[in-house]
Amino acid sequence: MSQYQFQTEVNQLLHLIIHSLYSNKEIFLREIISNSSDALDKLKYLTVADEAYKGIAFDPRIDVSFDSEKKTLTIADTGIGMNEQELKDNLGTIARSGTSNFLSALADDKRRDSNLIGQFGVGFYSGFMVADRIEVVSRKAGEENAWKWTSDGKGSYEIEPATRDTNGTTVTLFLNGEGAEYANRWSIQDIIKRYSDHIAFPIWLRYDEEEWDETEKKSKKKGEKTEQVNAASALWKRPKTELTEKDYAEFYKTIAHDSEDPLLYLHTRAEGTLEYTTLFYIPKKAPFDLYQVDYRPGVKLYVKRVFITDDDKELMPSYLRFLRGVIDSEDLPLNVSREILQQNKILTNIRSASVKKVLSELESIAKGNAEKYAAFIGEYNRPLKEGLYSDFSNKETLVELVRFKSTGVESWTSLAEYSGRMKEDQKAVYYITGGDEKNLRASPLLEAYKKNGIEVLIADDEIDEIVIPTIGKYKDKEIKSINRSGAEKDFGGAKDEAAAKDMAPAAEKLKKALGDRVKDVRISSRLTDSPCCLVMDEDDPSLQMQQMLKAMGQKDMPEVKPILEINPDHDLVRRVRETEDEGTIADIGEVLLGQGLLVEGMQLRNPADFVQRLNRLLGK
């Protein structure tokens, strides 16, 4: 038996692991299984590519067993194995440039995040978070001798001759108080399912099966059982030609916990400067937490088939949070922390390319399968609109993908389709915003547009008022809200100017009567049947937007007053011009304002007062 001192950097790392990095202990099993998978990958390659190894039988497997009484956990593989020198090189030394800088950064990291340790290829040492001692018995493929490496993680390790029937490595952890919970079938099975389910080699768990003894009223051992606990197939890594629609659907149901097939899937393999695979799904129905702040992201990150994370909202932009699936990179380091993921150029490039691929696929469906795209829009139109506001680099594509309701058609319509139906002399793309589609379709604001045969988009999503203005123009046509005071100028003429001059006294009387309840009273050129409508000044938030902001907690925001537009041809408005009775003018003003608020779906400040004034007018 020979005793050796750990390299200084290894001692530093072990000290950090044992004394500081306890945020996620269970990753030790993932790391050791990952090492076993790598050893199997290496041997698999050599048996095909190297003459010296072609005679070695390749029977890949990873075996996990435990002894709850002795508190041991064992992971064994049939991989490439290590000889004496390789045990020293791999387990006693960190043979990497930048080691000191890495350890300094790890020591300074205030979060003490155990996920950092794997990024430097030293995940094996995480075993010391849960073990007082670790033994490694290994036999190099093609060699006769086996060796045992032993350490308590306190500065030194020992290597001595050992026996092993086959090539490969066996790691035995003698669990401490922190790790005793892992000498348990259910804990081990859960960790493997979560982190290593798609390791491409079978992982077998050996345990004592138990049965209930009715006579003694207790469970007793039935016998030893070995069960494969992982899928042993990274489906996304398999060629598309080998996979069926059923294969894709079953995998989706597993990762999305959904009973229905997905609406669509997109399987991509990229090779070149970056090598990665993505498999994305879009559920038929929107996830229940789609509009919750604490939504669960649905994309899992793997590195070389090893699960890294499924709760990082930075993997894909938030407006695509409905995606379910996998990103598997060959270039990322294992166990990168959340902060490193956010700043990692490799992941940034994968994310950017993936977003473009998903949006491109949606474009193809929109053009080639109207029914399927309508189903998609019915569930996910609003998140796409969020993308218009947040994803400037893909804005042009998103503009074509979002859909709107319209006065011109019964189904969803795109801006391109609207543009194709525009009249030759039409000055803008028009839309109306508000919280209720039925109210919007009945709005007096639409009267002039209907009269002139002009289509108006119905924007009843609460985010439309924020999102649509960011589009700016569509094919050189301004996109204009008819809820705004400037929109009526598109219909102005000599007749309207004369009416405005004629009815100016009525507007002045109403403005005086309503006082600070309104920002202004103006003669409208857009009304044909209704006596009035409410609009907002060019840069003021709408009534619905003010209401939404208050609901979000902005209680102290100042109230922005609407502008009351009146129809110069309506009897009520003419009555104002003809009378000097202040009571009648006040009643008409309050009734007109109340009508405008009701049409907008807003609550009246004093419903009883409104009814009294309305009854007085009816009585006259």
How far apart CA 561 and CA 192 sit, in angstroms, is 61
Among 445, 443, 596, smallest CA distance to 519 is for 596
Confidence band of 114 (pLDDT split at 50, 70, 90): very low
Residue 391 located in a structural domain: no
The answer to whether residue 278 scores a pLDDT higher than 80 is yes
Both 309 and 289 in one domain: the answer is yes
Q: 193 and 298 in one domain?
A: no
Please check whether residues 28 and 55 belong to one and the same domain. Answer: yes
- For residue 506, tell me if it sits in a domain: yes
Domain containing residue 113: CATH number: 3.30.565.10
97 belongs to a structural domain: yes
CB neighbour burial string for 177-200, b if at least 16 within 10 angstroms, e if fewer: eebeebbebeebbebbeebbbbbb
Please report the pLDDT score of residue 338 as a whole number: 58
Same domain, 94 and 191: yes
Contact status, residue 138 vs residue 81, Cβ threshold 8 Å:
yes
Q: Are residues 270 and 125 in the same domain?
A: no
Q: Please check whether residue 260 lies inside any domain of the structure.
A: yes
Same domain, 239 and 224: no
329-351 residue pLDDT tens: 998 876 555 566 777 889 999 99
Q: The tokens of 59 are what?
A: 């029977």
- Mean pLDDT (the chain) is 86
As given in the structure block, the two tokens for residue 248 are 């894709």
Name which of 121, 152, 173, 146 is nearest 6 in CA terms.
152
Cα gap 597→544, rounded to integer Å: 11
DSSP state for residue 576 in the 8-state scheme: H
**Tens digits of residue pLDDT in 10-62:** 777 777 776 655 557 887 898 899 889 889 988 987 887 788 998 999 999 99
With tokens 């006259």, the residue in question is: 620
Residue 138 lies in a domain: yes
Task: Tell me if 17 sits within 8 A of 114, measured CB to CB.
Answer: yes
Residue 455 lies in a domain: no
Domain extent, residue 532, equals 492-537+550-619
Q: Are 198 and 233 in contact (CB under 8 A)?
A: yes
Q: In CATH, what number is assigned to the domain containing residue 361? A: 3.30.230.80
Task: Please provide the DSSP assignment of 111-149 as one string.
Answer: T--GGGGGGGT-GGGGGGGTEEEEEEEEE-TT-S-EEEE
What percent of the chain stands above pLDDT 90?
46
Instruction: Name the residue with tokens 């590195």.
Output: 303
Mean pLDDT of the 419-442 span: 89
- Give the pair of three-digit tokens for residue 231: 């899928």
Q: Where are the alpha helices (DSSP H) in 217-344?
A: 245-256, 338-343
